[in-house]
């Protein structure tokens, strides 16, 4: 009986195409549905990450006034995910529109074709300026249904959902071998702004989707290979906050990597030596002041632009980015739903616009000493990529 139940669960979470983007949680992706606005907006969260640095990835479903649903940034259409979507379809009508709001982020792009395949009546609207790596393939080759895939026009009044939504496209920003673009979508009735990667807010507590299987939290809460962490909320919180530092800075100033000889020696005496625990290898050592770095990163929950986007992407096109942010800030939204980290972010257009102040000269947002120090690794990466001609030079601040 238990085995039967277990097999059913595994099948429910199965994502057979995981080798296309081979990241955690691989073939077993759980989905968590959350109602953001009663009977109007739902988010569907799954996880993604490497080396147990796991963060939520999110799709948003919005009920249309005339019946039916709109989907922004689909996640993996596992049986569980489809069942949870179909519960909404039964109540509110078919999925009419599916939006792919990015061109570069493969973690969002990869699910659109398979998701659309499960909802054959839906029209797919993709952000313009697509490209794929290593070959620049047409969208139909990436599994998008050719007979019902459209490119979002620049003029947002030209789409069939224009009465309820408005959108602005950032980009394309030239990144050398690739390009970046993102579609900000505004749902007028609920005053909600949907974004993909440009804005995040970091919660103090681990998101519910990560707590379904807290092993990554336990892993990163360790101070050394010898630790076996108690399974409690305090451990989860510690693990989560360190995961945020990893995910957003790669290597913050408060993280040291001990010599590999020591890492291997410690592994021999590690508390956990299973394959799941990377055979006891734990190449991290956190300085005591890491919580200050987390607090500086978090900015009291204010929306902000992830350091990688600040330093590797949006600073290639400050003028275009600020013009886009100014346009988006014209909408009267009261909350933001991004595709990663916290949701929903209560935010005014002014708070949203402030998040892009880092592109302006003499902005106070550029002066946080701890943040500056923690961004050094990404700044270094920027220099290396520019030197190798893999990234065009940054443009001066405005």
Q: How far is the CB of 197 from Fe ion (least distance, A)?
A: 4
Contact footprint for Fe ion (CB under 5 A): 105, 197
Report d(CA 383, CA 377) in Å as an integer: 10
Secondary structure, 3-state, 229-276? CCCCHHHHHHHHHHHHHHHHHCCCCCEECCCHHHHHHHHHCCCCCCCC
| Cα–Cα distance measured from residue 153 to residue 134, given in angstroms and rounded to the nearest whole number | 26
Whether 127 contacts 100, CB under 8 Å: yes
What is the C-alpha to C-alpha distance for residues 47 and 26, in angstroms, rounded to an integer?
A: 10
Give 48 or 235: the residue with its C-beta nearer to Fe ion. Answer: 48
- Please say which residue, 75 or 229, places its beta carbon nearer to Fe ion: 75
Minimal distance in Å, beta carbon 57 to Fe ion?
7
Q: Which is nearer to Fe ion, 105 or 371 (CB)?
A: 105
- In the bound complex, what is the minimum distance in angstroms from residue 74's beta carbon to Fe ion? 12
- Count Cα neighbours of 92 within 13 Å in the Cβ-side half-sphere: 21
CB of 392 to Fe ion, least distance (A): 22
Task: Report the distance separating Cα 44 and Cα 393, nearest Å.
Answer: 37
What does the block give as tokens for 333?
């939204």
Closest distance to Fe ion from the beta carbon of 134 (Å):
20
Q: Whole-angstrom Cα distance, residue 110 to residue 73?
A: 10
Q: How far is the CB of 161 from Fe ion (least distance, A)?
A: 23
> Which residue(s) pair with 157 in the sheet?
none
Q: How far is the CB of 339 from Fe ion (least distance, A)?
A: 5
Nearer to Fe ion, 80 or 197 (CB): 197
Please check whether residue 199 is in contact with residue 248, taking contact to mean a CB–CB distance below 8 angstroms: no
Alpha-carbon distance of 1 to 7, in angstroms, equals 10
The answer to whether 178 and 56 are in contact (CB under 8 A) is no
CB closer to Fe ion, 197 vs 272: 197
Q: Which is nearer to Fe ion, 124 or 313 (CB)?
A: 313
- Quote the Cα angle for 231-234-237, to 5°: 105
**Structure-token match 């390009």, residue found:** 179
C-beta of 61 vs 105, nearer to Fe ion = 105
CA dist., res. 56 & res. 341, Å (int): 6
Minimum CB distance to Fe ion smaller for 105 or for 124: 105
Which residue number, 267 or 343, has a Cβ lying nearer to Fe ion? 343
Residue 301 C-alpha from the chain's centroid: 16
Q: Minimum distance between the CB of residue 338 and Fe ion, rounded to whole angstroms?
A: 9
Sign of CA dihedral 20, 103, 139, 43: positive
C-beta of 223: minimal distance to Fe ion in Å?
30
């Amino acid at each position: 009986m238990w085995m039967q139940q277990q097999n059913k669960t595994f099948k429910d979470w199965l994502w057979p195409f995981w080798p296309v983007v081979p990241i955690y949680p691989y073939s077993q992706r759980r989905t968590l549905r959350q109602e953001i606005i009663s009977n109007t907006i739902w988010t569907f969260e799954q996880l993604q990450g490497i080396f147990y640095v796991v963060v939520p990835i999110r799709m948003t479903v919005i009920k249309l006034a005339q019946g039916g649903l709109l989907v922004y940034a689909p996640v993996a259409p596992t049986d569980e995910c489809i069942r949870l979507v179909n519960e909404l379809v039964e109540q509110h009508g078919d999925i009419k529109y599916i939006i792919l709001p990015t061109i570069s982020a493969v973690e969002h792009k990869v699910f659109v074709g398979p998701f659309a395949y499960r909802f054959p009546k839906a029209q797919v609207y993709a952000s313009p300026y697509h490209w794929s790596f290593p070959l620049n393939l047409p969208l139909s080759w990436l599994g998008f249904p050719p007979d019902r895939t459209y490119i979002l026009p620049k003029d947002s009044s030209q789409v069939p959902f224009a009465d309820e939504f408005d959108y602005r496209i950032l980009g394309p920003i030239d990144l050398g071998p690739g390009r970046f673009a993102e579609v900000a979508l505004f749902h007028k009735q609920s005053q909600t702004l949907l974004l993909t990667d440009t804005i995040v807010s970091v919660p103090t507590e681990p998101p519910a989707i990560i707590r379904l299987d807290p092993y990554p939290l336990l892993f990163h809460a360790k101070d050394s290979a010898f630790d076996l962490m108690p399974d409690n909320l305090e451990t989860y919180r510690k693990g989560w906050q360190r995961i945020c530092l990893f995910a957003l800075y790669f290597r913050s100033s408060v993280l040291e990597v001990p010599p590999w000889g020591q890492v291997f020696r410690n592994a021999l005496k590690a508390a956990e030596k299973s394959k799941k625990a990377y055979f006891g290898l734990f190449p991290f050592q956190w300085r005591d002041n890491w919580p200050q770095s987390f607090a500086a990163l978090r900015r009291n929950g204010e929306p902000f632009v992830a350091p990688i986007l600040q330093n590797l992407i949006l600073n290639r096109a400050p003028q275009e980015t600020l013009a886009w942010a100014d346009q988006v800030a014209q909408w009267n939204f009261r909350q933001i739903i991004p595709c990663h980290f916290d949701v929903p972010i209560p935010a005014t257009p002014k708070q949203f616009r402030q998040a892009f102040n880092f592109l302006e000269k003499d902005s106070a947002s550029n002066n946080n000493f701890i943040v500056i120090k923690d961004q050094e690794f990404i700044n270094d990466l920027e220099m290396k990529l520019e030197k190798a001609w893999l990234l065009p030079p940054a443009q001066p601040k405005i």
